[in-house]
Amino acid sequence: MVTSVQATVATGSSRESRAKNVRGGVRGRWSNMLYVAPYLSLYVTLLIYPLFAGFWLSLHKADFFGGSRFVGLQNFVRLFHDKVFLGAVGNTFYFILLTVPALALIGLALALALNRTTRSAAVLRGVFFSSSVLSVTIVTLLWRVVFAPDNGFIANLLHHFDKPSIPFLSDENLALPAIGITTIWWCLGLPMMLFLAALQQVPRELYEAAALDNAGRWKTFWHVTRPSIRRTFALVVIIEVVLQFQLFGQAQLMTLGGPNNASRPMVLFIYEVGFNRWDVGYAVAAGQILFGLILIAALAQYLVARRKEAF
Amino acid sequence: MAAQVASGAVGRGLGDRLILSATIGLAIVMLIPMLWAVGLSIKSNAELLVDTNSVLHAPWTLKNYADIIVGSQVFRWLLNSIIVSTGMSLGVLILSSLAGYGFARLEFPGRNIIFVLVLFGLAIPEQAVIIVRHQLFSALDLHNTYPGLMLPGMSAPFGVFLMTQYFRAIPVEIDEAALLDNASRFQIFWRVLLPMTLPAQATLGIYTFLHSWNDYWWPLVSGTNERMYTMTVGIAATQINFAESAGLGYLMAQAVFGSLPVLIVYMFFQKYIVRAVSGAAA
Amino acid sequence: MPGIELKNVTKAFGAATVIDNVSLSIRPHEFMVFLGPSGCGKSTLLRMIAGLESVDAGEIWIGDRRVDQLAPGERRVAMVFQHYALYPHMTVRENMSFGLRNVRLAEVEIVKRVASAARMLEIDHLLERKPGQISGGQRQRVAIGRAIVKEPQLFLFDEPLSNLDAALRVRTRLEIAQLHQRIEAAIVFVTHDQVEAMTLAHRIVVMNNRRIEQIGTPMEIYSRPATTFVAGFVGTPAMNFISASLVESGNGFASVCLPDGALVETHIDKASLPASQSFKLGIRAECVDICEIGQGNTAGTAHFVERLGDRTLIYVRLADGATVVAEDAGDSRVQLNDQVGIKFNGAAGHLFDDQERGHHAAQDARG
């Protein structure tokens, strides 16, 4: 049977045509938007609109009678001169320095210690993670009765050794660290779990090779484990920084931001200005600054982490 | 598991035991606040007023819990939390699944741009929008309502992001087989793809439920009426009147009561919760 | 049952042309194989017939219906996917019924068709199981069953055997051939395995680089390959290609001279050859014999010997360094590094010009 080669090299007869939807054109495509429309409508009204309305609002000042007038950047100028706000910014940064390294390092240590298949390791992991599922209001209540200077758990312990009680929450220098301890207790679970997941991705052969190379526990950690989880470490730090920038409940309930503004973080400032004093424009402006700081911090860490990997 | 240290590795015995002991010690320290709270809750208020060390010895009593069952608002708070969290989770699951399918599988004008814009939303913290949201809901008269408590949480992009990724991971061949089987786009979604996403739904549902249950700021400023307190707000409210409250034991019993639902769920669904929370972050 | 017609079908992704002006026809009840290496476009062409890829230009006809603008479900075609694409959360029965339910077929009819297909494929005991609970070979049968119950006008198979292990592949090949005898529809089967193509096809479409190289029956493809690609792609071991230049010859047939000086007389009509600068002599291993030195066309050293049991392949290095594969008896005594004589069966030789087109003897003359 004689056959012939039908196809030829088309020298310019092939035209570029847009792929048509098999169902026949543009109509089908628009109706597909119905799937994303419900979510998008919520997204726009409750996230996008408030964000941009906030920008606008931060340029206004609410006056006593419920109206508002355009004041340009005055709110921001006021914020830069507001000692309480600046103190809050400082407190927030200080708090992050207190908690994030501890969370990352203790989380890593726990993950290393509990990366076993034994039943006791599973139980212990469960214990360390359990605090993370509680709400902030319960956590603060628990720790207030631990910190309470007269009859708290720590006070009782100190009295047992004939030591005087420590006024954790009413001492200017101790308030924020006390909140820090509460927060570390509360948030330890997440870093631990993230590190555990990362550790389990490390190929077993690397550890076996190290064992055959007579590497001790520390050397194995430094040369095998540490490089493999570097990215996770950066991720944990970024996550925790963003999280702790948003400190609110613990400060509001345990110390009310005191004593003497020593433990007021930025979010508590925003809450008080916005919902107690109803100086809405001012509060939103502070919120913008917080948003900006979080973005910068996250971006900076991301870039640093990327650069380090380039080596 | 890829790299869990075999406990039989030679020469590691002593170091391992030390580490284990230290970890157990730390675990006990971790449990102290919870144990202390439980201890306080099973003592009578009168005794505690005198000396809280009385926790350590008898008599212990369940009177505080009895008082709760009789007169506390805890049940009201529990009900509100259940309604809001369940509603929000269902809403998120439905909206995210529909949108995830749309972004992953369907063509429409501007799809890629819109998706990127939704992703940007992941970076927006609550504090940047909460005040305007509050004003908006005041204008719409949505405060102190269940929808008012549920809606803000449903606008978060995380669920859409998760479901879109999950749908994208399903081989397109399945869609194609269904197309050849004469299924409409909606039938492909409803009868073929959606049932395949059950693990993602479980993760997202649990994560949203937990997140909603523990949410504090929004219910605080939107559910200001005592009737609408969620569990978190209720517990916070009782804390404010710490000193003049109905007694330390009663207060702690409320806290224990408030934690029980979450802790019970945690005990049974620990695996899912851990996966949900760590998957969410990463 | 109708035939299939592709007319000047073209597809482009942006600036890259993926299918270029392809035309072919498939006869009713024909088993047509699209054969070619990865990336040649065979799967794309199949998917265009199915409606899973759009057609940018040209027409596709199934019988007297033009289908290239219809939705996949409306074309009355069924497809068996490479990885089966079974719905994982549905039972086997539900997998097979899904398509029929969507077209509102009567429940009684659905049950009947599913039962009959299940019986034919011997999967009736698996009907209540889920795809995750059955083996790979069984999953493939379910995929075939899902296609059968639709009673389509055309069956499409997208590399269905590539996921099976060797033994299962041979068995399934047989079953697919038997299946074809039992149904009335035409089959289009895509594969990169030339053995599958040769054993199953009525006709083969050999594709390379998004173009059709040749359409023909298996024997045509094998004994009269249109291009060097087809000649080298089909047949194991691959055809020998040796540089050759035309020399004077007494009869009307072309004679060529090989680089090492050997002379080979073909049965190809000299007048039919184009004025080409260089030719390649194409000759299959089974037409190259081992003989005593001095008795054949040329000689060389055996630098590799493959004993396959029923035959032995001897790789002979010629004086100019080129390698020729010769086929000897299964009990061949040739050893590594032996000097051997080569005898070419010139009547079975092909000549490929510098455009890579094949020229063959007038009739199939071997021996």
Measured between alpha carbons, how far is A292 from A278 in angstroms, rounded to an integer? Answer: 22
C47, C79, C162: best to mutate for the B interface, most B CBs within 10 A: C79
The verdict on a CB contact (< 8 Å) between B182 and C102 is: yes
* Chain C residues inside the 8 Å CB shell of A3: 214-216, 220
pLDDT at A13: 25
**Model confidence pLDDT, tens digit, residues C149-175:** 999 999 999 999 988 888 888 988 998
B255 within domain boundaries: no
**Model confidence pLDDT, tens digit, residues C308-358:** 999 999 999 988 888 999 999 988 888 999 899 999 998 889 999 888 888
Closest to A248 (Cβ–Cβ): which among B9, B26, B217?
Answer: B217
B266 within domain boundaries: no
Measured between alpha carbons, how far is B40 from B38 in angstroms, rounded to an integer? Answer: 5
C157 within domain boundaries: yes
C103 within domain boundaries: yes
Local confidence band at C114 (pLDDT 50, 70, 90 cut-offs): very high
**Model confidence pLDDT, tens digit, residues C287-300:** 999 988 888 888 89
**Model confidence pLDDT, tens digit, residues A200-213:** 888 888 888 888 88
The verdict on a CB contact (< 8 Å) between A17 and C57 is: yes
B252 within domain boundaries: no
* Chain B residues inside the 8 Å CB shell of A118: 7
* Chain B residues inside the 8 Å CB shell of C98: 178, 181, 183, 191
- CA B42 to chain CA centroid, Å, is 27
Same domain, C296 and C202: no
Cβ contacts from A onto C, under 8 A:
60
Same domain, C253 and C205: no
Token look-up 């009678």 returns: A65
* Chain A residues inside the 8 Å CB shell of C51: 22
C366 within domain boundaries: no
Same domain, C193 and C334: no
Same domain, C137 and C100: yes
At B237, which amino acid appears? A
Local confidence band at B282 (pLDDT 50, 70, 90 cut-offs): low
Compare all CA atoms of chain C with the CA of A13 and give the residue at the minimum distance: C21
pLDDT at A99: 95
**Model confidence pLDDT, tens digit, residues A203-253:** 888 888 888 888 887 888 888 888 888 888 988 999 999 999 999 999 999
Structural domain of residue C172, as residue ranges?
Answer: 4-232
Q: A2 pLDDT exceeds 90?
A: no
Same domain, B102 and B124: yes
Measured between alpha carbons, how far is C177 from C31 in angstroms, rounded to an integer? Answer: 9
In angstroms, the separation between the Cα of residue B184 and the nearest Cα of chain C is 9
Closest to C87 (Cβ–Cβ): which among B179, B184, B192?
Answer: B192
Closest to C71 (Cβ–Cβ): which among A4, A5, A22?
Answer: A22
C364 within domain boundaries: no
In degrees, rounded to 5, the angle at the alpha carbon of residue A110 between the alpha carbons of residues A219 and B12 is 45
* Chain A residues inside the 8 Å CB shell of C15: 16
Which of C184, C202, C232 represents a domain boundary (last residue)? C232
C179 within domain boundaries: yes
pLDDT at B8: 39
Structural domain of residue B40, as residue ranges?
Answer: 13-67
At C136, which amino acid appears? G
C113 within domain boundaries: yes
Same domain, B98 and B165: yes
Question: What SS3 string covers B15-45?
Answer: HHHHHHHHHHHHHHHHHHHHHHHHHHHCCCH
C25, C215, C355: best to mutate for the A interface, most A CBs within 10 A: C215
C286 within domain boundaries: yes
Closest to A6 (Cβ–Cβ): which among C24, C57, C70?
Answer: C24
The verdict on a CB contact (< 8 Å) between B4 and A140 is: no
The two three-digit tokens of residue A302, written as one number: 């991301």
B4 within domain boundaries: no
The two three-digit tokens of residue B263, written as one number: 């802790």
Domains of chain A: 88-309 (1.10.3720.10)
Same domain, B173 and B52: no
Q: A72 in the Ramachandran plot: left (φ > 0), alpha (ψ -120 to 50) or beta?
A: left
With an 8 Å Cβ cutoff, is C54 touching chain B? Answer: no
| Chains touching C by CB (3 or more pairs below 8 Å) | A, B
Q: How many domains does chain C have?
A: 2
B193 within domain boundaries: yes
CATH at B155: 1.10.3720.10
Which of C232, C263, C281 represents a domain boundary (last residue)? C232
Listed range (B8-17, C261-270, C320-329) with the worst mean pLDDT: B8-17
Compare all CA atoms of chain B with the CA of C151 and give the residue at the minimum distance: B181
**Model confidence pLDDT, tens digit, residues A166-189:** 888 888 888 999 999 999 999 999
Q: In the beta sheet, which residues pair with residue C341?
A: C291, C299
Same domain, C97 and C201: yes
Which of C191, C213, C232 represents a domain boundary (last residue)? C232
| Chains touching B by CB (3 or more pairs below 8 Å) | A, C
Q: Evaluate whether B278 touches A194 at the Cβ level (below 8 Å).
A: yes
Pairing between β-strand C279-283 and β-strand C240-247 as defined by DSSP bridges: antiparallel
Closest to A22 (Cβ–Cβ): which among C54, C57, C216?
Answer: C54
Same domain, B84 and B217: yes
**Quick one: average pLDDT of A118-128?**
89
Same domain, C228 and C259: no
Q: Evaluate whether C153 touches C123 at the Cβ level (below 8 Å).
A: no
In angstroms, the separation between the Cα of residue B120 and the nearest Cα of chain C is 29
With an 8 Å Cβ cutoff, is B107 touching chain C? Answer: no
Same domain, B139 and B109: yes
C30 within domain boundaries: yes
Reported as type and span, the H/E element at residue C223 is helix C218-223
- Mapping DSSP to helix (H, G, I), strand (E, B) and coil, where does residue C282 land? strand
Residues of chain A with pLDDT > 90: what percent? 42
Measured between alpha carbons, how far is A248 from A161 in angstroms, rounded to an integer? Answer: 34
A4, A6, A21, A27: best to mutate for the C interface, most C CBs within 10 A: A6
Same domain, B104 and B48: no
CATH at C261: 2.40.50.140
The verdict on a CB contact (< 8 Å) between C52 and B176 is: yes
Local confidence band at B29 (pLDDT 50, 70, 90 cut-offs): very high
- Provide the mean pLDDT of chain B: 86
B225 within domain boundaries: yes
**Model confidence pLDDT, tens digit, residues B158-189:** 999 999 999 999 999 999 999 999 998 899 99
Dihedral of the alpha carbons of B124, B127, B131, B134, in degrees to the nearest 10: 80
B175, B176, B180, B196: best to mutate for the C interface, most C CBs within 10 A: B180
At A305, which amino acid appears? A
User: Nearest CA to B107 among A126, A25, C62, C220?
Assistant: A25
- CA C36 to chain CA centroid, Å, is 7
Same domain, B139 and B22: no
Same domain, B55 and B89: no
Sign of CA dihedral A24, A29, A30, A33: positive
With an 8 Å Cβ cutoff, is C151 touching chain B? Answer: no
pLDDT at C363: 66
In angstroms, the separation between the Cα of residue A208 and the nearest Cα of chain C is 34
With an 8 Å Cβ cutoff, is C108 touching chain A? Answer: no
Q: How would you class C79 by CB atoms within 10 Å of its CB: exposed for 0-12, middle for 13-18, buried for 19 or more?
A: buried
| Chains touching A by CB (3 or more pairs below 8 Å) | B, C
B110 within domain boundaries: yes
**Quick one: average pLDDT of C184-202?**
93
Measured between alpha carbons, how far is B258 from B250 in angstroms, rounded to an integer? Answer: 12
Same domain, B62 and B177: no
Same domain, B25 and B134: no
Same domain, B215 and B136: yes
Closest to B173 (Cβ–Cβ): which among C73, C85, C99?
Answer: C85
Which of B29, B50, B67 represents a domain boundary (last residue)? B67
Closest to C73 (Cβ–Cβ): which among B173, B174, B179?
Answer: B179
With an 8 Å Cβ cutoff, is C25 touching chain A? Answer: no
Same domain, C248 and C210: no
Residues of chain C with pLDDT > 90: what percent? 56
Closest to C98 (Cβ–Cβ): which among B176, B181, B184?
Answer: B181
Same domain, C276 and C218: no
**Model confidence pLDDT, tens digit, residues C43-63:** 999 999 999 988 999 999 998
With an 8 Å Cβ cutoff, is C73 touching chain B? Answer: yes
Same domain, C30 and C64: yes
Same domain, C97 and C144: yes
* Chain A residues inside the 8 Å CB shell of B81: none
* Chain A residues inside the 8 Å CB shell of C12: 14-17
Same domain, B88 and B55: no
Q: How many domains does chain B have?
A: 2
Q: A249 in the Ramachandran plot: left (φ > 0), alpha (ψ -120 to 50) or beta?
A: alpha
Cis peptide before B261 (omega within 30 of 0): no
The verdict on a CB contact (< 8 Å) between B216 and A124 is: no
The verdict on a CB contact (< 8 Å) between A49 and B19 is: no
Which of B67, B85, B102 represents a domain boundary (last residue)? B67
pLDDT at A109: 92
